[in-house]
Homo-oligomer: A and B are copies of this chain.
């Protein structure tokens, strides 16, 4: 079976090449395929309409994914999250466009980083989830491990990843990253810390996000630092602070807006957006 879903958004933002406030809109459709073998294994695939060419890429598949799952867990190939990303994830972002996604955690592998399919294996037993991912090693040797654990209103993530070609470093890089999240009444919060060894040089990232929800309203704030200033080349320390709000209109529609201040070397800039988002 093939099913359709979609999303769309429209509004204004100054997060543009020119820095001017511009209209920004998009409409997307996703194909989700699902089936089951006679023996009870589930399988499926998914990609978005605009990714159809990349999803047909075979050894260069760089969008969409294919999976098979059963009692042994789930194995997914394609443009999938690496194991560290699957376990740790991102902070909560703001804005109807994401405003540059500075709340995202930086990972060395997965989610399109390789430009070719990788494999992710996931297994969940009760509150514990474990993840393993790897590239095929033909172009790059990337792999990752991850563990996620839920304990009541709290959740923990731990990931380790290794890449042979991160940041153009001659001896590759490794990355240890962890997260802790929790829900405290109307507030949910998450903290992420990651420390990378980039061919002997240190880089790290850390941040915090929190969302307060009251009926249809949700207010989110985040603070995130990515410090690659020890690396040679065009790298440095990026500090991003964001605040935004979302108001749920029901039926899949919401009004969302946000402001993010980004401080990167000599650049200290603020971007904002305001718009409506729809899911179908």
Chain A residues at the B interface, C-beta cutoff of 8 Å = 1-2, 4-6, 8-10, 12-13, 16-18, 20-29, 31, 33-39, 41, 43-50, 52-53, 55-59, 61, 64-66, 68, 77-78, 97, 116-119, 135-138, 249-253, 276, 278-280
Contacts and interface: CB of A to CB of B under 8 A. Distances in A.
Given A31-B4, A58-B97, A45 B278 contact: yes
Copies of this chain in the oligomer: 3
7 contacts: A16-B59, A24-B59, A24-B117, A26-B55, A38-B250, A49-B49, A50-B55
Given A38-B249, A138-B21, A31 B6 contact: yes
Contacts of A249: 37-39, 41
A18 B97 contact: no
Contacts of A68: 10, 253, 276
Given A12-B136, A136-B12, A29 B31 contact: yes
A278 B33 contact: yes
Contact of A280 (B34, B78, B280): B34
A10 B66 contact: yes
B253 A116 contact: no
Contacts of A2: 4-6, 29, 280
